[in-house]
Structure 1
Amino acid sequence: MTEETTPNRCRIVLIVPQPGADDEGRVEAALRGGDIASLVIPDHGIDESAFQARAERLARLAQARGVAAVVAGEPRIAARIQADGIHVEGSKAELADAIRRHQGRMMVGCGGAKNRDDALELGETQPDYIFFGRFGYDTKPEPHPRNLSLGAWWADMIQIPCVVLAGSDIASVVDVARTGAEFVALGNAVFAEGLDSAAKVAEANALLDEHAPVLEEQR
């Protein structure tokens, strides 16, 4: 994706599904579906060696298409596989340590904020982004109202980019984009059983092209 073709509106962040039947094939298909900013790879509770092998395979698929690969759960694995970023769901101290050790060589983002105070506390460490939502909790068609509220407040007040988790209905990307968030995260809306992952990414991009505000006009 070149600078000229990268859309200047809310962009897609994909959340890798739990290990399962052809899950890596579905990720590869989704990556062919259109513009994607990054691929977040959670550990989903699997053991470290299996997670490292899986994360490396998925990261290579993403990077081959110019998509940033972000490892959630273990900074050491992110460094070992030469990922593009680390996602931290821990305390402010853990986030600060990851930033001190790794920021500069790769981006370091965070999640886990349940309210504005939490978000501001984490933001003091200057992460590269903040994520509003919880992996795997996009089970309803619409985004969680709290995530939308936090995303709109953050996007209006803070320069650090934010990612807001959408719902299980692909059309919910429009609700996220209208908050002013720079990124919308998609999990079940793309990877739920029976879905055509590539088609869902293409549909999400078409909706964002039509409805997402231009970010320069908001800042």
Structure 2
Amino acid sequence: MRVATKGTNCDPFRAAGCHDAAIRASTCFSPSRFPTRSAISPRNSRLYLITPPVIEAPKQWVNTLEQALDAGDVACLQIRAKGLDDDSLARLVDVLRPPAQRRGVAVLLNDRPDLAFETGCDGVHIGQGDMPYAQAREAIGPDGIIGVTCHDSRHLAMEAGEAGADYVAFGAFFPTETKDAPTRADVDLLYWWSELFTVPCVAIGGITVENCRPLVKAGTDFLAVSGGVWNHPEGPAAAVAAFNRILTEK
């Protein structure tokens, strides 16, 4: 059974997909032999927050983070801070990680499995241009969460799942200003993945309260949201509450 490395004592991705070493060892990662979701149990999608591109005053901004986390269910917080040196990034993690983990929210660091392990994060998210999965696993250890960007590629997703990734991320589904998005994913990709595989999938890219319902209907396990929460006209807490109302609709 996979558990988080430190702090949260939970792994929302393992809980979503019943994805562990035993399944990987005993089951070929293919539509014909890998357990389908219907063989596990139905579940609601959950919210996966990504920090804003720039946080000017982390010790003040953490109040905004806490209000957002207290407004509804949040499975995960990805700390994504490009351009910071190691010391600055570690200090940012030291501010943002504790309040999230106290609330049972898994904390992932973008791109840096070595620093994720050193700073007590629960895992890491790696892109296709970052280090390979095997290298990331070696850096973060056997119990850390590793998610992999797969853009709009079924092939990349199956490769990541076969390697042992705890989740695969598809996107961008909508135009986004948070980061450069080289690909545009179609909602059919989520239908396909959710019907065939138990490894959890994350939908990312320009997701808002207004446009997320088709992704939820298609079977995504997690909605990864940044600007749709932090830039919401009624504030981040209102956005988290609104997302949760949608995610729990019957």
**Which band: TM-score by shorter chain?**
0.7 to 0.9
Identity %: 28
Aligned equivalents of 1:92, 1:58: Cα separation in 2: 23
Structure 2 stretches lacking a partner, 5+ long: 1-7, 11-15, 17-41
Runs of 4+ aligned structure 1 residues displaced above 6 Å come to: none
2:154 partner letter: R
Q: Give CA-to-partner distance per residue, 1:75-131, whole Å, 9 cap, x none.
A: 111111111111111359611221244353211111143321222222221100011
Aligned equivalents of 2:61, 2:230: Cα separation in 1: 8
Provide closer, same or farther for how the CA distance between residues 61 and 101 of structure 1 changes in structure 2, counting only shifts above 3 A: same
C-alpha deviation, 1:193, in angstroms: 6.6
C-alpha deviation, 1:137, in angstroms: 5.7
Provide closer, same or farther for how the CA distance between residues 29 and 163 of structure 1 changes in structure 2, counting only shifts above 3 A: same
Mapping for residues 96-115 of structure 1, pairs under 5 Å:
96-115=134-153
Aligned to 1:42: 80
Structure 2 counterpart SS, 1:79: helix
Higher Cα radius of gyration: 2
Provide closer, same or farther for how the CA distance between residues 147 and 70 of structure 1 changes in structure 2, counting only shifts above 3 A: farther
Deviates more, 1:159-168 or 1:71-80: 159-168
Provide closer, same or farther for how the CA distance between residues 101 and 51 of structure 1 changes in structure 2, counting only shifts above 3 A: closer
Aligned to 1:10: 45
Aligned to 2:133: 95
Q: Give CA-to-partner distance per residue, 1:134-164, whole Å, 9 cap, x none.
A: 6x96349xxx961523222211122211010
Bigger helix share: 1
Structure 1 stretches lacking a partner, 5+ long: 212-219
2:241 partner letter: A
Question: Please, what TM-score do these two structures have when normalized by structure 1?
Answer: 0.81
Let me know the Cα RMSD of the aligned residues: 2.9
1:65 aligns with 2:100: no
Question: Please, what TM-score do these two structures have when normalized by structure 2?
Answer: 0.72
Aligned to 1:200: 239
